[in-house]
Amino acid sequence: MNVDNVAPDITNSIEVHGNREITMLTADCFKGICMSANTAQSRRVRGYNLDLERRVREGDLTLAAEVIQNYDDVNGVHTRVLLRTDTGAIDGPPDWVTLWKEARGDQKEMGKVMRGIIKSKGVKDPRVYQEVENIHNQSVWNFEGWTRQFLKDKGVKVNAAAEAMNKKQLNVREQFSDTFCKKLIDMDAPTAQSIRKLTEEIKLATLPYTNFHELQEYKPKHDEEGNPVPCGKRVRQLESAHRRSLKRLATVERRRALEETETTEAQQ
């Protein structure tokens, strides 16, 4: 008899089998170990599961529709169920989302104008625009140092500082930029040093009027780790929720139409 083909008696002590040890795992435990591996595939799976958890927590019934459809496909049945939908979200995201996007668009356009004027004045130092942008942000948020470090200290992980600004802050920044551009146009042969000096002067003149920089125009939103969610990300979340609501409504309408068709056929 081939001993290797015989399952060991796991009721005996470990000494019976030398250094052999049998570990019994459930399927869920094995999947959990696989997802804990530091590989690209495991990170994708973890991200997928976290997304499912978030959708369930937020009451995303699109997920329920997908589960029902999968069940029907596997079992060859039609589940007659009418999905609820968030009618409040069908009208669109809150009004401040549109206002923020408009302010963000204006701020982007002003940034292009600033870069164009600095270039037209023949300033060669590529760091000038970055320093001007940083002083703009200092004026709005009333801090010293560099924007990237400031956002990092606040727990905000964004590349564009404007993504973390609300509508009021974006408007203040736009007014700052507008004043800067008008004064820069009137300067003869500006240098990197004179541009920095001009920006600092506007900052000092602006600070007394930006005392509301700590006000929360919108309800604060934080992620599961307690970190603040930038306004730009919050806007995309709300717009995504709106699209899901429309998708859920379309699912409801399709199911209603299907049930009406089945009822009509049954009556005939």
More confident residue, 113 or 31: 113
Mean pLDDT over residues 100-118, rounded? 90
Mean pLDDT over residues 44-52, rounded? 80
30 half-sphere exposure, CB direction, 13 A CA radius = 5
pLDDT value at position 71?
A: 72
Q: Is the pLDDT of residue 206 over 60?
A: yes
Phi, psi values for residue 224, rounded to 5°: -65, -25
Six token digits for residue 51 = 């997304």
Q: Is the pLDDT of residue 3 over 60?
A: no
pLDDT value at position 259?
A: 74
Q: Which residues contact 97 (CB under 8 A, 6 or more apart)?
A: 235, 238, 239
Q: Is the pLDDT of residue 108 over 50?
A: yes
Q: Is the pLDDT of residue 207 over 80?
A: no
Mean pLDDT over residues 115-135, rounded? 88
pLDDT value at position 183?
A: 92
Angle between helices 127-141 and 95-120 (to 10 degrees): 140
Taking the domains of the chain in order of start, what are their residue ranges?
95-218
Q: Distance between CA atoms of 109 and 65, rounded to whole angstroms? A: 42
Mean pLDDT over residues 28-55, rounded? 80
pLDDT value at position 224?
A: 65
Q: Distance between CA atoms of 119 and 182, rounded to whole angstroms? A: 15
Confidence of residue 1 (pLDDT cuts 50, 70, 90): very low
156 half-sphere exposure, CB direction, 13 A CA radius = 23
Q: Which of 23-37, 110-124, 219-233 has the lowest mean pLDDT?
A: 219-233
Q: Is the pTM of this model over 0.95?
A: no
Question: What letter represents residue 256's amino acid?
Answer: R
Q: Using the 8-state DSSP alphabet, how is residue 240 labeled? A: H
